[in-house]
Structure 1
Amino acid sequence: MNRLFTLKETLPGNIAACKQYPNAEVVLLDYNSDDGLSQWVYDHFREYIAQELLVFYQLIDPQPRFFSHAHSRNMAFCLATGDILCNVNADYHIAAEDLCYMNDKMQPSDPLALIAHLDNSERDNLGRLCLRKEDFELIGGFDERFKSYGYEDIDLNMRLKMADVRIEYMPAQFDNAYVDHEDRSRLENSYDYHHLKRAFLRKMAPGRTRVLFLYDDQHIEAGTLIKSGHNFPDIEEEGWLRGQWLQAGKEIWLEGLGTSTLRYREGSSQLIREDEIYEEVTDISSFQEILFKKSIIQNYQLMKNRRRSENFRANADGFGKGVVIKNFSEKIQLG
């Protein structure tokens, strides 16, 4: 969603790479973007659409306001006609030799998936994935409960292992072949980016920070962030507490986070209640960082619960549902 600025750098080269490889198909999904993507494709890529090298889909129902990595990928993978599926984010570069490598590795009778190495990869590489379509369908696609950014691809890799699909890491030639961009672009199409009004932090002990998130619809989310052994932020077992907040003059009242209403006095970028002092996150970079952490934490909790359940199949009611327009003309319903 709204990644035209990276597609302008990657799509022409990716199509050129696929032209050198027989039976390659580039599936591009416009997930309700408002940055001019559809017009740009119409103006510059109708030749490749006519050649059936590029297949362009526009999502028309639903018309999501916010981006879902899981749902958008599920739609694209369901629309693809090949036996082998390769996830190519809008900021990825691919080469003809990459396609040859993946085709040589992926055999019809071998349940194998190629993924980015979690320990050695930059964040931008983690979404790289190649697998058989039948294995993708077996595990129920990407888990559409995952919102915003983070872990939906790692969760899928874990479920592939649970389903006895063999996992191999992609070689170093795939690393760093992407368009670098700010973290803001990962978050700006999320619900939190548009509706989180204020955020407050309170350092409780080394490695423990209490956070308050106040939303513009008056709901609040609170939790205690902790350091973890997997290099990503985590939250204490109680998880997120949810309630309501109310501005009352120079006070903010919080309800639903305990047995009684919590009343905080507003100071200079602070919330104060007896010996509790929360500092407001006011600068843009810190605000974006806490949004990123929140997204990572929420999705990590889902993945942990999935691991405990030992159930590899997601989306019991189906996945990748929606209505799209194919190549500016044909309406198709999925699911």
Structure 2
Amino acid sequence: MNHRISVCITCMNRQHHLEKTLPENIRMNSDYPDAEFIILDYHSAAPFFNWLKEEYPQELKTGRLRYLRTEMPDYFHHSHAKNMAAVHASGEIICCVDADNFIGPGFLAYVNDAFCQDAAIFLTVDHNSTSQDLHGRICMWRHDFAALQGYDERMNGYGYEDIDLVKRLEKLGRKPLFINNEKYLHALNHGIEERIGNTRHARCIETFYIRYIDPALSELLIINNDGTYEKGLVKPGGEHNNLFTFPQPVTATLEHGAVRIAENGVLLDAGDSENTLLLETTGINLRYTTGKTPVFYKITDEAYARKLVLIYSCMVNYQQMTNDENYTTTNAMLPGSGAVVAYRLDANGLTENVNI
């Protein structure tokens, strides 16, 4: 029995990755008949339907390849993008695949066989031993995805949205089956900027400040370019699921508020006049005006600052995941909500734009 499989790929400004992976993924799985490849263009600066139309006219006509585009988001939101692609899938099985991944020859047949042999499973990779570039590979029943309301859209940073979904699938009673054949586990190599460059944190964070208190405690201050700040105590963390070491917040949530420039420093307003705090400038750094506390040092090394964006983004997503010990679903709206346009080719090769 062949189940219909939807391969869901999300992309924002990464057409250059798709140009390398999509041809191989389609060609090496041409023997599996009942499948669709969904490309969700998550508001890329330059739509790439014309490229797909030139390269895959037949696949677009038959529905083997579907191109969807949304112009709603300003930043790449991993959970929302994956939900948006999945809710428009027609398959019984949803396979989430990152744009930089090669799924390998015969992958769709392998997925179908696995679900035919045991209906109480989902497919994923071993997050403790597999490259983080492959962590987004998850295949599940569409009805399981619907029961969980998809990925947790409260997680709007980079990382852990996939691990969180794995934990919730397990709580639903599904057993993980690890994809461990190397022929299915290849991805393009790329740097930090392509990994996080389109995310909210990468676009909004203007400056990092770090105040060293003692070997077990530091204070992090982030000034955003939208007039807001985030601040909190952090402690050394550990390596999590083969990613990297990053700090852990001391409290369940970080302090958020508005930041205003003052004559001799910056004002941090957490929404209560009693909590308005003045940090005075000392050169390029900041410090509290009361007591002899250590200075908040401004991070000036651009490469290190970009690495901190990645670390911080993982930290807040990990915090969201661990705060929800029961791994519940609390998407306030339907997962993947928002306006989407489907670009199609009719039998004559003419483009049709349909709001779905």
Q: Does the Cα contact within 8 Å between 1:142 and 1:314 map onto a contact in 2?
A: no
1:138 maps to 2:153: no
Q: Secondary structure at the match of 2:237?
A: coil
1:324 maps to 2:340: yes
Relative distance call for 1:44 and 1:197 in structure 2 (3 A) is same
Which residue does the alignment assign to 2:322?
304
Alpha-carbon separation, structure 2, partners of 1:238 and 1:125: 29
Which residue does the alignment assign to 1:266?
281
Q: Secondary structure at the match of 1:276?
A: coil
Which residue does the alignment assign to 1:155?
164
Out of 79, 84, 89, the position equivalent to 2:93 is 84
| Residues 46-102 of structure 1, C-alpha deviations (whole Å, 9 max, x = no match) | 222123221111224xx1111111111112112221111111111001222222221
Please give the residue correspondences for 1:1-335 in structure 2 after superposition, counting only pairs within 5 Å.
Answer: 1-60=12-71, 63-107=72-116, 110-173=119-182, 176-231=185-240, 232-233=245-246, 234-256=248-270, 259=274, 261-273=276-288, 274-307=292-325, 309=326, 311=328, 313-315=329-331, 317-328=333-344, 329-333=352-356
Relative distance call for 1:118 and 1:310 in structure 2 (3 A) is closer
Alpha-carbon separation, structure 1, partners of 2:132 and 2:301: 23
- Identity, in percent, stands at 27
Q: Secondary structure at the match of 1:242?
A: strand
Comparing 91-100 with 35-44, greater Cα deviation is found at 35-44
Comparing 226-235 with 12-21, greater Cα deviation is found at 226-235
Q: Secondary structure at the match of 1:110?
A: coil
- Unaligned runs of at least 5 residues, structure 1: none
- TM-align CA RMSD: 2.2
Q: Secondary structure at the match of 2:28?
A: helix
Spell out structure 1 runs of 4+ moving beyond 4 A.
Answer: 257-261
- Unaligned runs of at least 5 residues, structure 2: 1-11, 345-351
Q: Does the Cα contact within 8 Å between 2:104 and 2:183 map onto a contact in 1?
A: no
Alpha-carbon separation, structure 1, partners of 2:153 and 2:179: 25
Q: Does the Cα contact within 8 Å between 2:157 and 2:316 map onto a contact in 1?
A: no
Comparing 280-289 with 315-324, greater Cα deviation is found at 315-324
Aligned length: 329
What amino acid is aligned across from residue 327 of structure 1 in structure 2?
Y
Comparing 272-281 with 26-35, greater Cα deviation is found at 272-281
Question: TM-score of the superposition, structure 2-length normalised?
Answer: 0.85
Alpha-carbon separation, structure 2, partners of 1:305 and 1:251: 34
Q: Secondary structure at the match of 1:317?
A: coil
Q: Does the Cα contact within 8 Å between 2:219 and 2:231 map onto a contact in 1?
A: yes
Alpha-carbon separation, structure 1, partners of 2:34 and 2:330: 30
Question: TM-score of the superposition, structure 1-length normalised?
Answer: 0.90
Comparing 224-233 with 4-13, greater Cα deviation is found at 224-233
| Superposition deviation, residue 248 in structure 1 | 2.5
Comparing 184-193 with 323-332, greater Cα deviation is found at 323-332
Q: Does the Cα contact within 8 Å between 1:125 and 1:175 map onto a contact in 2?
A: no
What amino acid is aligned across from residue 334 of structure 2 in structure 1?
G
